[in-house]
Homo-oligomer: A and B are copies of this chain.
Amino acid sequence: MVHDPRDLRAPPALAPGALVAVVAPASPFDREELLRGLAWLRTRYRLKVASSILSRTGYLAGDDDRRAAELASAFVDPEVSAVVFARGGYGTMRIVDRVPWSALDARPKWLVGFSDATALHVVANARGVATVHAPNVTGLGRSITPAERAALLACLERPDQRAAWRGLEVFRRGSASGPMIGGNLALVAAMAAAGRLVVPEGAILALEDVTERPYRIDRMLTSLRLGGHLARASGIVFGGFTQCDPGPDGVLASEVLRERTRDLGVPVVAGAPFGHGAPNQAFILGGCATIDDDVVSFDRLSN
Contacts and interface: CB of A to CB of B under 8 A. Distances in A.
A245 to B, nearest CB: 13
A231 to B, nearest CB: 12
Contact of A194 (B97, B218, B223): B223
B193 A93 contact: no
A223 to B, nearest CB: 4
Interface size range of chain A in the complex? 35 or more
How many identical chains are in the complex?
Answer: 2
A192 interface: yes
Interface in A221-235: 222-228
A299 B93 CA distance: 37
Nearest to A252: B58
Contacts of A222: 93-94, 190, 194
A96 B223 CA distance: 11
18 contacts: A27-B215, A59-B214, A59-B247, A94-B218, A96-B226, A97-B226, A186-B219, A189-B190, A190-B222, A192-B194, A193-B193, A193-B220, A193-B223, A194-B222, A194-B226, A195-B226, A195-B227, A196-B226
